[in-house]
Amino acid sequence: MDLQALLAGIEPIVRRAGAYIRTAVPSSVDEKSNHSDLVTEYDVNTQRMLMSDLAALHPEANFMGEEEHLEADIRTGDCFVIDPIDGTTNFVKGFNRSCISVALLRNGQPAAGVVYNPWNDEYYSALKGQGALLNGTPIRVQNTPLKDSVVGCGTCPYYPDLAQKTLRVCSVILNTALDIRRMGSAALDLCDAAMSRTGAFFELKLSPWDYAAAGLILTEAGGEITDTEGNPVSLSHPSPVVAGNPIARKELEEIIRNTK
């Protein structure tokens, strides 16, 4: 399927799901891997809604998603990677900082990506090799070093063994950068880096649906996303993530690597 037509077809689907989320009042909250890993009926229902509409748009595509153990072989063909509500804890607690993330992988590589924050109607989109947009307007990173940047971070709440190193890295960043922001949605954090609201972002372990779409948006805006060794992030299993404009991302990678 033509990628430009596909991206155009994804937008009304994602906006419809966003309208559903915006009117939600979570009444059923369950735990998944641990006490911090929450899921609501809206996560599950939104994923099912997205799958139904995306399957009608592109019947040949497979699906990988956060909810209901949705897994697929991403190596060949087209595969949608879905996070129906990235930032579920924010969603449950009434912080309007969550989003819908949809990426299309083609033969294992990101080809199209959408991240939609329904609370402030920010719709990010990208096609491989064609740049990134916010609400239809091109976006581009600024090459700002860490000393002149705010740094976004995630605290790996699903992986308590990584908490102490995260805090040690944050301590070094506080002595290097302008400040730190921890806002609870990795996909939106990566989009903030694409907008140069932050110079860089890190989290020591994330799942592919957290960054498949937003990582493409960031790279198409001129940024970079790697693991802590500077290698490409995995799209088949969880990975550490270091991202941002090229200057700040490299500086942040060195801080993480040198922090024991």
pLDDT at residue number 66? 79
Q: Per-residue pLDDT for 64 more than 60?
A: yes
Q: Are residues 132 and 239 in the same domain?
A: no
257 touches 206 (CB < 8 A): no
pLDDT at residue number 28? 60
Total tally of structural domains belonging to the chain? 2
HSE-up of 123 (CA within 13 Å, CB side)? 16
Q: What is the pLDDT of residues 165-220, one digit of tens each?
A: 999 999 999 999 999 999 999 999 999 999 999 999 999 999 999 999 999 999 99
Q: Which positions ≥6 away from 75 have C-beta within 8 Å?
A: 107, 108
- CATH code at 150? 3.40.190.80
Q: Are residues 214 and 98 in the same domain?
A: no
pLDDT at residue number 26? 63
Q: Are residues 135 and 7 in the same domain?
A: yes
Pairwise CA distance, residues 42 & 10, whole Å: 19
Average pLDDT, the chain: 93
220 touches 130 (CB < 8 A): yes
Closest CA to 240 of 204, 200, 214: 204
Q: Are residues 172 and 129 in the same domain?
A: no
Q: End of a domain among 96, 124, 139?
A: 139
Q: End of a domain among 77, 109, 139?
A: 139
Q: Are residues 248 and 198 in the same domain?
A: yes
**Regarding beta strands 109-117 and 122-127, do their DSSP bridges make them parallel or antiparallel, or are they unpaired?**
antiparallel
Q: What is the pLDDT of residues 128-163, one digit of tens each?
A: 999 999 999 999 999 999 999 999 999 988 899 999
Domain that holds residue 117: 3-139
- CATH code at 101? 3.30.540.10
Q: End of a domain among 139, 174, 198?
A: 139
